[in-house]
Amino acid sequence: MLDVDPVAPDPAVIRRAAAVLRSGGLVAFPTETVYGLGANALDAGAVRGIFAAKARPAYDPLIVHLADVARLPDVAGAIPPLACELAEAFWPGPLTLILPRGPRVPAEVTAGGDTVAVRVPAHPVALALIRAAGVPVAAPSANRFGHISPTRAAHVLADLDGCIDVILDGGATRVGVESTVLSLITSPPAILRPGGVSREALARILGDVCVVDRPVLSTEAAPSPGTLMQHYAPRAEVTLYRGPDEAILPAMREAVSHLLAQGTHVGLLLAEEDVAAFAGLAVVLEVAGRRAALEDVARQLFTSLRALDRAGVAVILARDFGAAGLGLAIRDRLTRAAGGRVINVTAPSR
Ligand code: TXA
Ligand code: MG
């Protein structure tokens, strides 16, 4: 575990980590979204190491990280003009583009497919590391497969201690949810995973953009190979409450009373404004942020889920934060954490 300044990383530390990447090793590093588990994307053996460390199934392809859009021809087989326009608008940043695969990218990265996922992360440590390594860096989120993505180095250590060579600790990540995955293979383009760049922001360039309905359970058909699993799952059983604010809180309160009467240890994932509604109840509260401050909620989301698990609760009731802006990505992650256990509250209950 090497400490590194998130704004001005020490070149000596970066060189050390880059050397590990170049020699086929695994380096966990911060991006603006979540921590990634990196390997040289052009080294099939190193990439296999990522899958082994995470216990990730080989059919789930990886995102290739570049330091500069100018390196895109190294990994993409074709670059549509729209890709350049999106890169101009959103890179470095939390947008991943699905493009035709270039011939130098090993099949391990793309899970045998003829498309490749690419992004340029907006984090000084990630950019310095990729530059110093001098190779594109394949990196999934640095968590055990199916578990909650890491937004701090301590989360990486908790999941993968002993399985990786170096962790660069650059503090907590700024965005907190993963990148938006946008396919430019289909026409019109489609969001395969909502994330740090909102649908509304993409629509300013693409016009309206469709969001592919991602299956939550492995029994449903999958549009993107890695999306067919329950993901972001804490140990506790999660239920997500959706609906108008005036209806969600009474419904959650009622559920809490039932659970407490049964002696169940309950955790709540709430907005700051909700806390008063649960005053005096013997539950574990995690506040993600104010309802309107979705950037705070996204940043805090995975840390809160991990904290509830550490508190040992058996059940987590989480509130929805709407579908506008980052709300869509937050809803997606909570729906997955809940394994599809979603309660749509329609009318205020008394
Ligand atoms: O913010 C992020 O995207 C973080 C940081 C580390 O960059 N990375 C991340 O990677 O979340 P991962 O592997 O946990 O999620 C990548 C997602 C998966 O759902 C995977 O199936 C999808 O991208 N993906 C990768 N390559 C793809 C491809 N060629 N076609 C469709 N989906 C793809
Ligand atoms: Mg992941």
Counting every residue written for the chain, the total comes to: 350
Bridge partners for 167 per DSSP: 28
Q: Is the CB of 180 under 6 A from ligand 1?
A: no
Q: Is the CB of 118 under 6 A from ligand 1?
A: no
Q: Is the CB of 143 under 6 A from ligand 1?
A: no
Cα(3) to ligand 1 centroid in Å equals: 26
Q: What is the mean pLDDT of residues 18-41?
A: 98
What is the three-state SS of 209-233?
A: CEECCCCCCCCCCCCCHHHCCCCCC
Predicted confidence (pLDDT) per residue in 134-146, tens digit = 999 999 999 999 8
Q: What is the pTM of this model?
A: 0.96
Ligand 1, from 141, 175, 212, 228: best to mutate by most atoms within 8 Å of Cβ? 141
- Is the distance from CB of 304 to CB of 269 less than 8 angstroms? yes
Q: What is the mean pLDDT of residues 296-324?
A: 97
Give the environment of ion ligand 2: residues with CB less than 5 A: 141
Q: Give the CA distances from residue 116 to residues 81, 112, 181, 211, 299, in Å, rounded to whole numbers and listed in that order.
A: 17, 10, 11, 19, 27
Amino acid at 120: V
Share of the chain above pLDDT 70, in %: 95
Question: What is the largest distance, in Å, between two alpha-carbon atoms of the chain?
Answer: 63
Q: Is the CB of 271 under 6 A from ligand 1?
A: no
Residue nearest to atom 17 of ligand 1 (CA): 226
Predicted confidence (pLDDT) per residue in 87-140, tens digit = 999 999 999 999 999 999 999 999 999 999 999 999 999 999 999 999 999 999
